[in-house]
């Protein structure tokens, strides 16, 4: 699919780049949702679409966030810039084997 739709804060990098997307888009959004539920805001909240486009795919700053290392690891693995590098891309079992779900 190649249609650009949705809130800019939640768009995966491949959607913004108009490269097309598949189920891995949901993995990226899951990472954003985990972040937002645990921190209280979206890491891209309040930014312009242009700024968000520049930031997507770059590491998120977790320094001032009270997240444990297991949660940070899960979110980082879901928010990978390249869809095929996201945790769960090959199998959803891979995702649920993460330490976070134990």
- State the total domains in the chain: 1
What CATH number is attached to the domain comprising 90?
1.10.510.10
User: Using CA atoms, how far apart are residues 52 and 43, in angstroms rounded to an integer?
Assistant: 10
Is 2 inside a domain boundary? no
Q: Quote the domain boundaries for residue 52.
A: 8-101
Place of tokens 């108009």: 18
Is 16 inside a domain boundary? yes
Is 3 inside a domain boundary? no
- What confidence score (pLDDT) does residue 4 get? 66
Element (H, E) at 20: none
Tokens, residue 82: 């390249």
User: Using CA atoms, how far apart are residues 69 and 82, in angstroms rounded to an integer?
Assistant: 22
Element (H, E) at 15: helix 13-16
**Residue-wise pLDDT tens digits, 7-54:** 778 888 888 888 888 889 999 999 999 999 988 888 877 777 777 777
Is 44 inside a domain boundary? yes
Is 84 inside a domain boundary? yes
- What confidence score (pLDDT) does residue 2 get? 63
CA distances from 60 to 7, 22, 66, 77, 102 (A): 19, 23, 14, 12, 24
More confident residue, 57 or 98: 98
- 62: pLDDT confidence band, cut at 50, 70 and 90? confident
Place of tokens 């700024």: 51
**Residue-wise pLDDT tens digits, 46-59:** 777 777 777 776 77
């Amino acid at each position: 699919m190649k249609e650009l739709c949705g809130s800019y804060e939640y768009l995966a990098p491949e959607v913004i780049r108009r490269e097309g997307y598949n189920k891995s888009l949901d993995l990226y959004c899951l990472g954003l949702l985990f972040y937002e539920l645990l921190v209280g805001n979206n890491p891209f909240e309040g930014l312009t679409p242009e700024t968000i486009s520049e930031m997507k795919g770059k590491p998120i700053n977790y320094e001032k966030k009270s997240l444990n290392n297991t949660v940070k690891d899960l979110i980082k693995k879901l928010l990978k810039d390249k869809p095929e590098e996201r945790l769960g891309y090959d199998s959803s079992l891979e995702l649920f084997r993460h330490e976070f779900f134990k």
